[in-house]
Amino acid sequence: MRQDAKVFVAGHAGMVGSALVRRLEAKGYTRILTAERRDLDLLDAAAVAEFFRREQPEHVLLAAGKIGGIYANHTYRADFLYENLVIEANVIHQAFLHAVRKLLFFACNCIYPKNCPQPMGEDDLLSGPLEPTSEPFAIAKLAGMKLCESYNRQYGTDFITVIPTNLYGPNQKMDLMTSMVVPSLIQRFRQAALEGAPEVAVWGTGAPVRDFLYVDDLAEAAIFLMENYEGNLVLNVGTGKSFSIGEVAAVIARVVGYGGRIVFDPALPDGAPTKVLDGSRLAGLGWRHQVDLEEGIRRTCEDFLRRFEGPC
């Protein structure tokens, strides 16, 4: 991937997309294509076709899509399935039609079976039933993965799929009910610290185990693959380190300065009991994550304060 090549970052305004733009700029890429939703609705097939015809991107990083945590996935099931399917189909098909040199599609670790052996390796995909709370989103992401694989096999394209572990970082959606676990907990603990609340309630038992990846590390992995990898293998992107939700909650409480009690509500859903990715395939290509959990949460909290409460 040349530094003067046209690189389209689809979904540049989101957490992953904005990290991709940051890292591409830092590495000297000079022709980064982005489009606001008001100017390019990726759900509109004709608009996507016209964008590709006009801009002729050489490389595509497909980070656009509808995302959310357990509550959002469980509640807005049709929206998650429909919007992600349509965005993937529109962008991947136009990338094929306009001879894009390389495309990287971001899937999600929820595409692994609910009771998958741990850590989850790429060969475990489609080996069992999905986690019910995120099934529609997972089906859409599996379809995107298979689209990339199928275009490669039928037409010889170079479309890569990566499966990130649980992500967090700057520019992440912050909403108590619909955001993912780290931003939701940051907001809860920050509010509790300001109010002097004696306790903070966390969804579920606190026992589920996850691997958490700082989003700039994911962006670095994506650019590394765009520059160095050709093939039809799906690739996990994770840290190889696991933490319980209870442990993550404790780190967040410490970083935001909350000293009260953390309580768990087992009446609310936990999601899959364990989700840790086997990242040996990507590690074998020479990539390693750089940001540990506490440092990443500190940076994410600083971003939250800048965006929602003013200067730190």
Beta strands in 66-204, from DSSP E residues, in sequence order: 102-106, 159-164, 166-168, 199-203
The predicted model scores a pTM of: 0.91
pLDDT at 312: 35
Q: What does the pLDDT look like over 111-127, one tens digit per residue?
A: 999 889 999 999 999 99
Over 80: is that where the pLDDT of 310 sits? no
| Amino acid identity at 11 | G
Q: What does the pLDDT look like over 131-142, one tens digit per residue?
A: 898 999 999 999
Q: Which residues pair with 59 in a beta bridge?
A: 7, 102
- Give the closest residue to 187 by CA, choosing from 309, 13, 19: 309
Q: How confident is the model at residue 6 (pLDDT cuts 50, 70, 90)?
A: very high
pLDDT at 178: 45
Distance (Å, rounded) from C-alpha 305 to C-alpha 301? 6
pLDDT at 179: 55
DSSP three-state, residue 141: helix
| CATH code linked to domain 7-172+212-239+276-290 | 3.40.50.720
Chain centroid to Cα 91, Å, comes to 17
Pick from 143-157, 164-178, 220-234: least confident: 164-178
- Give the closest residue to 115 by CA, choosing from 107, 106, 124: 124
Mean of pLDDT values over 62-82:
89
Cβ neighbours around 73 below 10 Å, total: 25
Q: What is the mean pLDDT of the chain?
A: 93
Q: How confident is the model at residue 104 (pLDDT cuts 50, 70, 90)?
A: very high
Q: 280 CB contacts (<8 Å, ≥6 apart)?
A: 121
Q: What does the pLDDT look like over 269-300, one tens digit per residue?
A: 777 788 899 999 999 999 999 999 999 999 99
CA Rg, the chain, in Å? 19
